[in-house]
Amino acid sequence: EPILRAMSRSLTKSHEFQLRAERLLPGGVDSPVRAFRAVGGAPPFLVRAKGAYLWDADGNRYLDYFGSWGPMILGHAYPPVVEAIQKAAANGASFGASTPAEGELAEMVVSAFPSIEKLRFVSSGTEATMSAIRVARAFTGRKYIVKFEGCYHGHSDGLLVKAGSGVATFGIPGSAGVPDEIVHFTLALPYNDLDAVEAAFRAHPDEIACVILEPVVGNMGCVAPVPGYLERLRAITSVAGAVLIFDEVMTGFRVALGGAQALYGIEPDLTTLGKIIGGGLPCGAFGGRAEIMDLLAPLGPVYQAGTLSGNPLAMAAGIATVSELSARAREIYPELERVSAAVASGVAAEAEAAGISVITNRVGSMFTWFFTKDPVTDWESASASDTALFGRFHRAMLEAGVWLPPSQFEAMFLGTAHGDAEVEATIAAAKVAFAEDRR
Ligand code: PLP
């Protein structure tokens, strides 16, 4: 059984599904980057996944390097997760009342993230960041928020300013439909630039409620914090009385069990989580210092709610995923590091051998090959990448049976189902793709 199977069947069924979807769903999708506009070509429609592999409606198989944009760290259809969801479903999909599972997952989260004293579950990362900002504003009595160019925190109005992910991919500065007045209080600064942060606090003394960031960015492609950056942000916000929010929707349980805050040893005031915490089901969470979180209704005056928050199926999938990661953390994270390093550097070496400039940014099992010459530390340097070359590379890899995220400005993820054979096959496919690109 070969590790990679080149696409052998045409995307006939996918095309049919696409045309059918386009009649009713704008662009044929429910989330813009799925449309493959940035890389060209038509998106295969997926019907099944197992471990590190995906199958489309026409029977083509792909090695998966995006893991549903992050959640699938244990691989697809991981048996304990499937069983947990089935068991929970048999007991009723949703009650709209409290369940024991919420307390159980909360205890697991708090033990992995010591900075979180109290938390609340929501149904997406967008809700988590939106709610964290609301409670930070209530806590400080201030209006301004600081975010960073190229960071994506979901699609709530106030955060769609110079955002990453699809917003960056499509070159949209913000979003139509968001009034200027609403983003008036959002200050968007360059990432990894402490002078800009200090200047913002000087310009707005006692007016900045919070600083929110991806402590390792995934949404302009992978960009790590420069040494000292997170430490200084912690110090600046503490002195200014502003709330420091780490958006660990991607990095939580990914770069380490305890997220980027464990990896770099910095404690934020609030943390947002999503993706892995729901094991592939819709789930997010925000939490942190108890004195801030206790402002939430019903204890306090900050309103925040959700019909499906803490949903029993999402909690079951989250518990199954997080308990496995916790129990085997000492084995899982070093292995993810080893496999990720091998594929990231192996593909980069093939690019260089073919005379293609590539900058590889990687933190654990999150990484990006930027097709550019100079180090990528912020949105400006990321956006210097050759996106046309990325598009060609993406298409060649897809044809070879490797599914990369369909944008230069997204991080790749792998999981525990990826092993040495997958790495070798990926490097070999990349070698062919780069060689053909030269011709
Ligand atoms: N924050 C970060 C860092 C993310 O990567 C994402 C999604 O990619 C979000 C927030 C939004 O999460 P969701 O798509 O679940 O609303």
pLDDT digit string, tens, across residues 36-70: 888 888 899 999 999 999 999 999 999 999 999 99
Q: Is the peptide bond before 190 cis (omega within 30 degrees of 0)?
A: no
pLDDT score recorded for residue 173: 64
Mean of pLDDT values over 410-439: 95
Least confident interval from 7-16, 198-207, 259-268, 302-311:
7-16
The pTM of this model reads: 0.97
Please tell me the distance between residue 7's alpha carbon and the centre of ligand 1 in angstroms.
Answer: 30
| Per-residue confidence band for 197, with pLDDT thresholds at 50, 70 and 90 | very high
Ordered by where they begin, the domains of the chain are 12-64+329-438 (3.90.1150.10), 79-327 (3.40.640.10)
How high is the ipTM of this complex? 0.99
The ligand 1 site (C-beta within 6 Å) comprises: 69, 124-126, 129, 152-154, 165, 214, 218-219, 247, 249-250, 274, 284
How is residue 77 written in tokens?
């259809």
> 3-state class of 362 per DSSP?
strand
Please tell me the distance between residue 153's alpha carbon and the centre of ligand 1 in angstroms.
Answer: 5
Cα(168)–Cα(403) distance, integer angstroms: 20
Q: pLDDT of 287-335, one tens digit each?
A: 999 999 999 999 999 999 999 999 999 999 999 999 999 999 999 999 9
Does the annotation count 191 as an active-site position? Answer: no
Question: Which atom of ligand 1 lies nearest, measured to the CA of 154?
Answer: 11
Nearest of 299, 276, 289, 359 to residue 105 by alpha carbon: 276
**Beta carbons within 8 Å of 234's beta carbon, 6+ residues apart:** 244, 266, 267, 268
| Per-residue confidence band for 240, with pLDDT thresholds at 50, 70 and 90 | very high
Does the annotation count 275 as an active-site position? Answer: yes
How is residue 337 written in tokens?
């590091």
